[in-house]
Amino acid sequence: MTQALSVGITALGTYVPSKVVTNHDLAQLVETSDEWIVTRTGIRERHFSAEDEFASHMAIHATENMIAKHGSAVLDGVDLVILATSTPDALLPATAAIVQNHFKLKAGAFDVIAACPGWMYALSAAAAYVKSGMAKKVLTIGSDALSKILNWEDRGTLVLFGDGACAAIVEAVPEGYGFKSFVLGADGEGAKHLNMRCINTTLPDGSPLTEKVSMNGREVFKFAVRVMSSATREAVAQAGMRLEEIAYFVPHQANFRIIDAARSSLELPLDKVVSNVERYGNTSAASVGIAMREALDDGRIKDGDDLLLVSFGAGLSWASSVLRWHVKTF
């Protein structure tokens, strides 16, 4: 899918729960060590939501953070809420509708389930709504509380994930700014490698679906390294650009080894890579937004920078995009 759109992100906020869980804390629960986790993943700590804190709460906090950063006018005229999550508060209603109600927005609201790339899928939908004229201003959220669906006895998954949320405004931007390409991909053949049950107990081929997240880490690792670099190349080519023109590579924060393998195959210098996986682990649909916000806050990302966003996850699925950053004053 190629789109040359003058639609982009004009505001961004994030949230992580206050509870920090270190590798040492997890080593009290399962047979693992700080050394193993750091060496294999680059993760040192992550944030876990409180028992009574869910995706909707985190989404609302991320939206409030966006208001604090950009001003209260930021929500004026929002006419659609799209919320990406794999951990919705409920199957009915959509978590997006809970957010809509909290902020009393005169807006439609729906959820997107597309695993870790969910927020990027949501951004692509938001951009298409704005481009088509069906919406003017879309509150586009990624919020996941993966800690709620992990198997606390499975060291292979427990150490990887954390909770968090990001909230962005997608709307028209001046010519030349905004999303320059979107690549969306899925390969349902790989469903067996990363899944969790909901209503059914098996996949169509009879593979069992479990009560909590289950994963074949090695298969996901190989897929991730391959797709991070291929999807990056595709998004850059669709934008009519060269990799050297990308100011910052903002990848899904799943594992620093995956990020670094992709960086190396793309021959990108380390200082162009935004990574904070060390402090948050894999926050699923929130991870690209949280990384991007950090690079904005520390002054790395500036007006006019071309960013390459890329994510992957269950499906198996992936998404990438080139975004020229636009600084808007509300």
Question: Which of 24, 136, 218, 302 is close enough to bind ligand COA by CB under 6 A?
Answer: 218
The least CB distance from residue 249 to ligand COA, in Å, is 17
Task: Using the rule CB under 6 A, give the single segment among 32-40, 175-183, 239-247, 298-306 that binds ligand COA.
Answer: 32-40
Strand-pair partners of 82: 110, 140
> Which is nearer to ligand COA, 93 or 217 (by Cβ)?
217
Backbone dihedral angles phi then psi of residue 99, each to the nearest 5 degrees:
-65, -45
Catalytic residue among 65, 70, 116, 166: 116
Query: What per-residue string of b and e applies to 14-49 under the rule 16 or more CB within 10 Å gives b?
Result: bbbbeeebebeebbeeeebebeebeebbbbbbbbbb
Catalytic residue list contains 166: no
Question: Judged by CB under 6 A, does residue 217 bind ligand COA?
Answer: yes
Eight-class DSSP state of 247: S
The least CB distance from residue 215 to ligand COA, in Å, is 6
Residues 6 or more apart whose Cβ sits within 8 Å of residue 240: 180
Residue nearest to ligand COA (CB): 217
Cα 87 to Cα 67, 215, 232, 283: the distances in Å are 24, 17, 27, 11
Count of residues engaged in binding ligand COA, rule: CB under 6 A: 20
Strand-pair partners of 330: none
Cα 197 to Cα 164, 193, 203: the distances in Å are 22, 13, 9
The least CB distance from residue 131 to ligand COA, in Å, is 28
Catalytic residue list contains 282: yes
Question: Judged by CB under 6 A, does residue 155 bind ligand COA?
Answer: yes
Catalytic residue list contains 116: yes
The Cα–Cα gap between 233 and 223 comes to 15
Enzyme catalytic residues: 116, 252, 282
Interaction site with ligand COA (CB under 6 A): 32, 36-37, 40-41, 116, 155-156, 159-160, 215, 217-218, 220-221, 224, 254-255, 282, 313
